[in-house]
Amino acid sequence: MVPRLIPSRGIYLTGEPVHVDVTGLAAAGIPAVLHVMELGVAVRAVGVHSSGTIAIGELPPGSYGITLVSDGIPLGRTAVQVVDAATRGAVHRYGFVVDYRADRDPATLADIVRRLHLTDIQFYDWAYRHADLLGGGERYDDALGNVVALDMVRALVQSCHDSGARALGYAAVYAVGRQEWPRWESIALLDALSRPYTLGDFLNVVDPGDPTWIGHLSADLAQAAETVGFDGFHLDQYGWPKSAMLPSGVRIDLAERFVSLIEALRARLPQSRLVFNNVNDFPTWATSRSSQDAVYIEVWEPHTTLADLADVVTRARAVGADKPVVIAAYQQCYLDAPRPAADQATALTMATLFSHGATHLLAGDAGRVLVDPYYVRNHPAEPATLDRLTRWYDFLVEHHCLLLDPEITDVTGSYAGSYNDDLDVAYPSAATSGQPKPGTVWRRITRRGDWLIVHLINLSATTDPRWDQPQPPSGDPGIGELRLRLGGGPPPSVLVADPDGRGHLEPVPVATDGCRGTAVLPALQTWQVVLVRYGDG
């Protein structure tokens, strides 16, 4: 049995002691050690003699990798993040839950929260009806016939709290079912032929900015926060219409109405976390600066390629006022592709999102991944998929300050290329490119303070750049050489990390010749992060 490490919480607040559950470690043999590292530097070591819950103690705010080592051999790894209460809201690693049957085990949700370091869980379709959230009593079927035990919803909320995650209740901001329709028909959204906009055959769409509707929805949400225990709400829309007519003959702009709704809900729910769904980037430009807590975008066609994902994240970070950016990109390829090919597609999706400063809503519940916008139609992840997701989420957490800091700036065009000649990477068997072109290594350079962070994403075997297409195993571009211009003083340190490798930043030698420095990089798998650090910083 391979040892496994899982922290007690998805995220820690300052002053909370860190504990790690170690399983699969035999009591006999050479004692092991838990090494706690920050950006590749060891900061603490704790002896481990057998499986059990290991006390790490309190850690200062920061992101840490933890490796179990015995006789110099790494046996397993995890990561933890510690934040101040004031900065907790700037972190949003999203998961989901959909199963509210009375006989399910809430611990299975806590397990995935802890394993993947999730900070927020979307409680999808927990409510009785879209326009009557709590009207079903303690046991009911939701609008599509799924069984909900409200006591289990509360137990799952508590499970989130016990494992360090916030519980966000799903709420559609303008959807009304047939039963409630007569009350709201006067504020229906109408098309050019005066027909109500509908979703399927069971929901109609109403004006989200209507004062009466806002009063009703905000009261429902406030009651749900009080009686169920939600920490906030996931505010959903469908991406259409962009503008519509009301029965009164007034034309409304949905972007403006969504902002009005968000601000009204913030006023009614000042302590709740609010996350609005900008479906296909609509209307991110308007809602991102509103009083919500994250910039969340669900992507669809025409955002089909890795380049499209990168552009969506870049726009969101530019307008998002330093809010965390979350992308919902459903990997439908798991439904009909072999698991390794779907896993590789997911890895390239994550590499694109993480390297551009966003996180990915994909995994949740009892080890499931999203393949459909109706979250009940999810896909049970195979153990190998969960293992890879765990490695990549460990990597994301450990290197948070190199990936998700809002101060990070893209400087590729200022440093790379023959005109600049300041920093670049070359491979003998594949060209590097500033864009995600098939057959290349996608190279991107960012800057945080005086650190340079190089992202190398291996597309050398890729022929289809769409993020939801099955992908072959990573190709071999050969051994990479990093070349940089020296600026005087001691040469910079170069450290390299790979989520599918050892996972931590490890130094590589830098050879100098006059004004130039070179470093030979480890073999590139799917994604490699290179930190170039001048001085001792």
- CB–CB of 9/161 below 8 Å? no
Q: Which of 57, 49, 59 minimizes the C-alpha distance to 20?
A: 57
CA–CA distance, 72 with 274 (Å, rounded to integer): 46
Give residue for tokens 């960012």.
446
| Parallel, antiparallel or unpaired: strands 481-485 and 423-426 | antiparallel
Give the C-alpha distances (Å, rounded to integers) separating 69 from 45, 56, 388: 10, 15, 20
- Angle between the 339-356 and 383-398 helix axes, to the nearest 10 degrees? 10
Give residue for tokens 């022929």.
463
Q: 10-39: b or e for each residue (b if 16 or more CB lie within 10 Å)?
A: bbbeeeeebbbebeebeeeeeebebbbbbb
Q: Which of 444, 386, 322 minimizes the C-alpha distance to 95?
A: 386
Determine if residue 294 is left, alpha or beta; phi over 0 gives left, psi from -120 to 50 gives alpha, anything else beta: beta
CA 209 to chain centre: 29
∠ CA 195-234-388, rounded to 5°: 120
∠ CA 118-10-502, rounded to 5°: 90
Give the C-alpha distances (Å, rounded to integers) separating 499 from 1, 129, 472, 526: 22, 42, 18, 9
For residue 537, the model assigns a pLDDT of: 45
3-state secondary structure of 16: coil
Q: What is the DSSP letter of 373?
A: S
Of all helices (H) and strands (E), which one includes residue 394? Answer: helix 383-398
CA–CA distance, 262 with 344 (Å, rounded to integer): 37
List the chain pLDDT tens, one digit each, 537 residues: 789 999 999 999 999 999 999 999 876 567 899 999 999 999 999 999 889 999 999 999 999 999 999 988 999 999 999 999 999 999 999 999 999 999 999 999 999 999 999 999 999 999 999 999 999 999 999 999 999 999 999 999 999 999 999 999 999 999 999 999 999 999 999 999 999 999 988 899 999 999 999 999 999 999 999 999 999 999 999 999 999 999 999 999 999 999 999 999 999 999 999 999 999 999 999 999 999 999 999 999 999 999 999 999 999 999 998 999 999 999 999 999 999 999 999 999 999 999 999 999 999 999 999 999 999 999 999 999 999 999 999 999 999 999 999 999 999 999 999 999 999 999 999 999 999 999 999 999 999 999 999 999 999 999 999 999 999 999 999 999 999 999 878 889 999 999 999 999 999 999 999 999 999 999 999 999 999 998 754
CA–CA distance, 44 with 367 (Å, rounded to integer): 31
- Token digits for 505? 């930043």
For each of the domains in the chain, give its residue range(s) and CATH number, in order of start.
4-83 (2.60.40.1930), 409-533 (2.60.40.1180)
Give the C-alpha distances (Å, rounded to integers) separating 126 from 60, 61, 142, 376, 379: 37, 34, 7, 11, 19
